[in-house]
Structure formats: structure tokens, C-alpha cells
Amino acid sequence: MQTISSFLLLSKRDNDRALETAGAVRQSLERRGLDVLLIAPDEDLAMKDFCASAPEGGLAVIVFGGDGTLVGASRRLLSYGARAVILGVNFGKVGFLAEVSPDHWESAVEALAEGRMPVVHRLALQWEIFHEGESSAAKHGFAVNDVVLSRGTLARVLSLHVSVDGQPLGQVRADGILVSSPAGTSGYALSTGASLVHPSVEGVTIAPISPFLTRFPSMVLPPDSVVDVAVDRKSHETYLTVDGQDGIVLSHGDTLRTRGLPRALRFAVPDMADYYRRLGRCGFVPPVGAGA
């Protein structure tokens, strides 16, 4: 791992414990003579400027918050084109992506600053909306977990046409369809019946949401697949949701195009073997030692 010289610390202002821990981390890093900035995750301009000024490959971003805060920050980094190493200190409820306990940040930050912490590459998603065959400049972006097309306020199924790499796959009538990264399969995709995909298996998962009289299985596709989902012109109100955080209303006949981006994100991993233990701790599988 390349030596890190610049650290961007992101902590919500309304979490006193997270902010206090972030301040302690800043002091620890500054004593090492490193370049450190502590800001809130929504300070977009300051975040972008700091990333631009950091040396190539020498930037780490430490997020003090829950999985949602880490996902939102990672999506911003993708939009900047910043090749940062990302580490999460968990102050949320789940802590599946934000792996470091607030009580043990010292050893994790020390290992990261000294280049001793393993870094893994993870797949992300890039999406854009086409209207009447034309891409919309205002409707495009990135996702860390998933992009979801779903019905609106009325409980009526959608009619969606799915293609992969330009080849028609079929039509599905359902409440919606999602396209997920491996990380995202531990979220919404799992509730649809799709399988958990290990984060090191770079693949794009597509899964229907409550399909109606349709045989359309969830699928895991190659990592650079391009998935087009076209909304039938006769369908009702349709929403695009990105990582469960941002939403856009689609028009009839719009097409969502999602592309897998292999190795787009870099995450610092304190314990390479901890994935399976976290599955148990977070309730995805019975914890080790659980009774029959």
C-alpha cells in the first residue's frame, strides 16, 4: 500500500461522540506531520477541493458515522474521480461497511497512516437516464450499493423491458427492479430473494421486486455489464432511487442504463477474515455458536 500523506475526516455535526472521536484522530494524525482536514460529509466544495489538492494515490478518507454516511461519502468521491482509500469508523446501527469500532480506532488509524492496513478494490455502479433515446445531462451519477426502479404512490405493477449489453433479456411485470453491486446485495437485493455476493466477487446483480406472473430470476452478471431497464410507455409513475438516498421521478418511456465499474472503490480492511463474522453480528446469518 502506498504511503498516505493526506487525510480527509468526515463526521456529522449532530453526533457528539463521532465528532469527539474525529477530533482525537485529527490530533493524532497532525502529530505525525500529516495533512488533515475535518469537515461534515455534506461540505461538498471543501471536500472536492481537498481531494483535488491531495497527491495522487496518497489520500485517505475516514468516515465517522454509519453505513449510510460511508456510502454517501463514497459516492461523492466517485463523482470527483478521487482514488482515495476509504475507512469507516462505525457510529451507526449496523456497521456492516463501517468496520472499525469507535473504541479501537487508534490501532486502525496507526496501521492506515503507516501503510500497513490491507486495501481492497470494490465494484461500483454508474447510471444515467435516457429520454427518447437521448442521455440527460442532469440525470446521471454513481452508486455504491444499488439503483432501484420502483412503482410510485399507487400499488400497481410496472412493465419493464430489460437488456444486458444490448441484448434483450425479457420483460418483467413487477413492483420494480434493482441493479446492485456485491456490497449492495446485503441490503435491498437480499430482501428480494437475491443471494448475498461476497464483496471480492466483482459482479453486477439484477433482481425483480415482487414479480407478478413473470418468471424472471435474479442474476449475477460480469463486472463490466451494461444493464438497460426501459419503462413501458403504459406504465404508471416510476421512481429511480440511488443507494436509498437520492430519488428521481422518471417519465414514461425513459430508460435507466447502469454500468458496472470494476475496482472503482478502494476500502481499507482492518481484518480480511472479518466478513463472515460480520454476517452473524449484523443478523444476515445465525451467529457462530447459536443453538439449533
Inter-residue contact 78 to 265 (CB < 8 Å) = yes
Catalytic residue among 14, 16, 67, 165: 67
Beta partners for residue 131, in sequence order? 134
Residues in the chain: 292
Alpha-carbon gap, residue 261 to 272, rounded angstroms: 22
Distance separating alpha carbons of residues 244 and 7, to the nearest angstrom: 27
- List, in sequence order, every beta strand (DSSP E) within 68-225: 85-90, 119-131, 134-143, 146-151, 158-164, 167-174, 176-180, 204-209, 219-221
Indicate the pairing of strand 85-90 with strand 119-131: unpaired
Measuring CA to CA, which residue among 62, 45, 44 is closest to residue 6?
62
228 in catalytic set:
no
What are the catalytic residues? 67
